[in-house]
Amino acid sequence: MTDHEAPVLTRVETGVGRITLNRPRAIHALNKAMCDAMIAALLAWREDDRVRAVLIDHAGERGFCAGGDIRMIAASGAGDATEARAFFHAEYRLNHLLVVYPKPVVSIVDGIVMGGGVGISEPAAVRIATERTTYAMPETGIGLFPDVGGGWFLPRLPGETGTWLALTGARLKAADTVALGIHTHFVRSERIEDLKSELLQDADPQAVADRFAEDAGPAPHLPLREAIDRLFAHDRVEDILAALSAEGSDWAAGQLEILRSKSPQSLKVTLRQLRLGRSLKSFAANMAMEYRLGGRVVRTHDFQEGVRAVIVDKDNAPKWSPASVEAVDDATIDALFAPLDSGDEWTPLPDVADP
């Protein structure tokens, strides 16, 4: 495989370490080799005085990153999940390395950014969205949960917007993502190449982004904030559903219908993940929790069925089991969150610790 064909391109240009996702036909879906390549580059640049900042972007125009390689994960989960766990272990180490990275990181999410794409862009100090950006964490629709740090990032968004996004998989454009702090700047796509050129010349990525930034416009979610914060504040999915049902508005009815289409088990896993993640003291602790979940959830009926319905057969008619939130018992959820044997737990990269 030539450099041009490699799924990740890494190089240093005028003092900037550049990571370019290079699987455009797959919307840069992540696999373990891609994670390993990014980790190797970041570790090499960490102590290199010639590298003052890191820029993460993507080739092509379809989007930044649509997530992980779900087909591989599902195939592995149908067996013993060894390959899936190895991918999660590497991906979560990459997420953690980016969170604690000692040099400024810039991510440019010009297009679709979901799942694994959020995990490698959200840790950046400068996160640039464009008019083509579409952000979502849609995992409950395939029987999964919002991993790659979702248990850390989402509960720390304003109010209960993270809970709403995680449970419903709502898709946001740049006006909303910038208003919520998911992304730090809005820059029109036609100006992105000029912005990159300046990043290669200026030692201050924040200042460059500030110069190019424009108003993203009014955020559509803002008029809904009071309802989101009130209706999604409950600690039981059943209570959220009941609150939405009693609300009486068209918007609440729409959210209820969306939630009723998601995996009941995933809704319960996700809500507990977010509530636990909100109280954790370190990103590493959150990733250890998500690793326990990941290796187990991919082997469940709902994940296998969700991938079949949404990605393989595309009939969008998953048959969840249990079929209702009320039928998902606490013991099942407890088992998914239980600690692993000490030698099987997730750990950060050696010499990469939380500050």
Known catalytic residues are 68, 116, 139, 147
* Paired strand residues for 185: 128
Specify whether the CB–CB gap between 104 and 125 falls below 8 A.
Answer: yes
d(Cα 59, Cα 80) in Å, to the nearest integer?
Answer: 34
> Of 250, 194, 260, 203, which Cα lies nearest the Cα of 227?
250
Length of the chain: 355
Residues 6+ positions from 69 with CB-CB distance below 8 Å: 26, 29, 30, 31, 87
Q: Are strands 112-114 and 134-136 parallel, antiparallel or unpaired?
A: parallel
Specify whether the CB–CB gap between 16 and 199 falls below 8 A.
Answer: yes
Rounded to 10°, the helix 82-100/283-297 angle is 160
